[in-house]
Amino acid sequence: MTVTAPDSMPRGSIALIGGGPGDVDLLTLRAVERLRAADVVLYDDLAGDEILSFVRPDAELIAVGKRAGRPSPRQDEVSRLMIDHALLGKRVVRVKSGDPSIFARTDEEISAARRAGVPIEIVPGITTATAAAAYLCTSLTKRLVARRVQMVTGHDVDGRLPTDLDLAALADPGATTCVFMGKATFAELAEKLIARGLSGETPTVVVESLGSPSTQVMAGSLTEIATRLAAAKPVGPCLILYGAALAGTELRTPSGAGE
């Protein structure tokens, strides 16, 4: 792999890079360049360890994970850390899981950097939603079946199912829906979707810990998965996908791990 010299990233700047789903070979070349150039790297606990292998040994590594339910730095502290280091002339890289533009509080970090007059760039990554589709060897859109893809959070600031979800959109049988941060609230969401007219038979898949050796897939109907997920209480991060486009997905997982 050819990478450019560290000077590809100016001193005193911040790069928010998408770490993708965790597989190191799904990083972009630009993300690798920025990691190699970095003097300081702030990383989420969902960013795979292998990704950090690109960082120079003399660079400072700072863990700023925000996994739900665990103590972690506040968002303003994370922004402050990035900015303080950049103002000291460091090249600061912030690694985020998946893509920085999807449920990653990137907007807050951009605003903080702009307020401080620190140059910031975004390096896109592969979001878990499309990485999950690839892992399952399926497509999120399907001609005449799924004309729309929607990404939604199942988790409000207090960890509950958001009360302002657009349930009509989420119950659209012609959409494929990707639910982020929804493992704890999915039973409640499924109940609301069914009440809105979505069939309990809608194909549903949970992908846990994608991009790690412990990736697990659970597949079944909306009703089944809601019950099984509530009982299984998976520990790893989970992406939940549902919609008619996912029919038969369980037969197409690379490892045959789906049920």
Ligand X SMILES: C[S@@+](CC[C@H](N)C(=O)[O-])C[C@H]1O[C@@H](n2cnc3c(N)ncnc32)[C@H](O)[C@@H]1O
State both tokens at 196: 């809105």
Question: In the bound complex, what is the minimum distance in angstroms from residue 129's beta carbon to ligand X?
Answer: 6
Residue 229 touching ligand X (CB under 6 A): no
Chain residue at closest Cβ approach to ligand X: 98
Q: What pairing do the DSSP bridges indicate for beta strands 216-221 and 203-208?
A: antiparallel
Q: Which of 138, 202, 209, 253 binds ligand X (CB under 6 A)?
A: 209
* Rg of the chain on CA atoms, in Å: 19
Q: Which of 36, 40, 51, 127 binds ligand X (CB under 6 A)?
A: 127
Query: Quick check: is 66 catalytic?
Result: yes
Q: Which of 42, 98, 152, 217 binds ligand X (CB under 6 A)?
A: 98
Q: Which of 86, 91, 176, 237 binds ligand X (CB under 6 A)?
A: 237
Residue 104 touching ligand X (CB under 6 A): yes
Q: Which is nearer to ligand X, 113 or 184 (CB)?
A: 184
Q: Which is nearer to ligand X, 32 or 132 (CB)?
A: 132
Burial class from Cβ neighbours inside 10 Å (0-12, 13-18, 19+) for residue 81 reads middle
Enumerate binding residues for ligand X (CB under 6 A): 21-22, 46, 96-99, 102-104, 127-128, 180-181, 207-211, 237-239
Query: Annotated active-site positions, please?
Result: 44, 66
